[in-house]
Amino acid sequence: MKKKQQHPGGGADPWPHGAPLGGAPPGLGSWKRRVSLLPFLRFSLRDYGFCMATLLVFCLGSLFYQLSGGPPRFLLDLRQYLGNSTYLDDHGPLPSKVLPFPSQVVYNRVGKCGSRTVVLLLRILSEKHGFNLVTSDIHNKTRLTKNEQMELIKNISTAEQPYLFTRHVHFLNFSRFGGDQPVYINIIRDPVNRFLSNYFFRRFGDWRGEQNHMIRTPSMRQEERYLDINECILENYPECSNPRLFYIIPYFCGQHPRCREPGEWALERAKLNVNENFLLVGILEELEDVLLLLERFLPHYFKGVLNIYKDPEHRKLGNMTVTVRKTVPSPEAVQILYQRMRYEYEFYHYVKEQFHLLKRKFGLKSHVSKPPLRPQFFIPTPLETEEPIDDEEQDDEKWLEDIYKR
């Protein structure tokens, strides 16, 4: 007959099949050095200590998770690359992935300042580089109500990234409505030259066909269409006076009603926005340098743009957009325009100085001279007539699409 196991205090061993998992009570040291957890699994005291240390690390990690408001970002990014996870089911959609380059770009293009040329280039570049070019069917509504601003900002912000949104619209403050402020870019030109280009384009169009443009402006009376530019300026017609001449600054000042009033307030606010919200504001008279800087600053969008711009086939398309029947007003009329557009010129020269500073930083030469007594007219090259944004209905986006499909 088998004897019962004895413990040091005498009597039968209370744990004949081994000590419990938590160890024997104090004073009982008879349980075996190795204990049986399962019939086929054994562990030593060293293994037991390792498990406890692992549990401690896990608990500390869980505490850190709660204190920091969620999992480490690299885990979220990893889940994004690996696909769906239980995190999506428990917490909703993940925050959008932060791309290593500006993924939200807005080109709120100023009318008759190179926009048609640049949009045509962007259509080619978007196919080449795979970014989302977002355009608008609304071409002539630059001033928006608060609700219209909110709706447009919502539509832009929900576009697939990386995107570049382009439209004739005055500056929009995304952060005011709780959105992420995008990177802004734009191009301006000599104010009098811009005015003249628009004046004659509205009347006679470009090399796409004078008759076609007249069909687009049927409401314009013949006497208005053939109104002499000098008479318009000297007789102070509405089209040739303020506030119609106060045109460029509102694109940078914004949607505030005072941005449409010629004065120091709108001018200073426009300068502030240029400094704080615009990556680059270029000068049309130096368009090749503008494209070169855009390629440097935004290579994911503009890499190779200068080669495309210089391509003979592209320039052939550009020849069709030259404004026709453009004449230069008399020196007296130009002086009057210069006085009426003094705020526009102060802004233009400010932007030009900033642009030349950027060029010097990147080793590009600038030919800077003192401002003349009156603006010297810039003779446009074939690619420098752009989309108008006057009150007349225009559908130049459709024309661009037709060109692009050829």
pLDDT in tens, 115-129: 989 999 999 999 999
Residue 398 falls inside a structural domain:
no
Asked whether residue 81 is assigned to any structural domain, the reply reads no
- Please state, in angstroms and rounded to a whole number, the distance separating the CA atoms of residues 108 and 114: 12
CATH of the domain at 176: 3.40.50.300
CB count in 10 Å sphere of residue 154: 13
Residue 216 burial by CB count (10 A; 0-12/13-18/19+): exposed, middle or buried?
Answer: middle
Per the document, the length of the chain is 406
> How much is the pLDDT for 221?
85
Q: Which domain holds residue 320?
A: 104-363
User: Is 91 a residue of the active site?
Assistant: no
pLDDT value at position 299? 96
Name which of 79-88, 153-162, 276-285, 355-364 the model is least confident about: 79-88
Task: For tokens 């355009």, name the residue.
Answer: 135
Strand, helix or coil for residue 6: strand
Total domains in the fold of the chain: 1
| 42 is a domain residue | no
Residue 206 lies in a domain: yes
In-domain check, residue 174: yes
DSSP string, 219-269: TS-HHHHT--HHHHHHTT-GGGSTTTT--STHHHH-SSGGGGS-SHHHHHH
CB of 186 closer than 8 Å to CB of 278: yes
Residue 104 · residue 161 · CB < 8 Å: yes
Indicate the residue type of 179: G
How crowded is residue 173: how many other Cβ atoms within 10 Å of its Cβ?
15
Q: What is the pLDDT of residue 68?
A: 56
The pLDDT mean for the chain works out to 77
Among the listed residues 168, 170, 213, 356, the single catalytic one is: 168
Q: 88 pLDDT exceeds 50?
A: no
**Residue 324, domain member (yes or no):** yes
pLDDT at 223: 86
Say yes or no to pLDDT of 399 above 60. no
Tens digits of residue pLDDT in 338-396: 999 999 999 999 999 999 999 999 888 755 444 444 444 443 333 333 333 333 334 44
104 beta partners? 163
DSSP 12: B
- Give the C-alpha separation, 323 to 201, whole Å: 6
Question: Does a structural domain hold residue 28?
Answer: no
Q: What is the pLDDT of residues 259-299, one digit of tens each?
A: 999 999 999 999 999 999 999 999 999 999 999 999 999 99
Specify the pLDDT at position 25.
52
Banded pLDDT at 17 (limits 50, 70, 90): low
79 lies in some domain: no
What span, in angstroms and rounded, lies between the C-alpha atoms of 363 and 249? 29
114 with 294: CB under 8 angstroms? no
Range 267-300 burial, b when 16+ CB lie within 10 A, else e: bebbbebbeebbebbbbbbbbebbbbbbbebbeb
In this predicted structure, what is the pLDDT of residue 77? 53
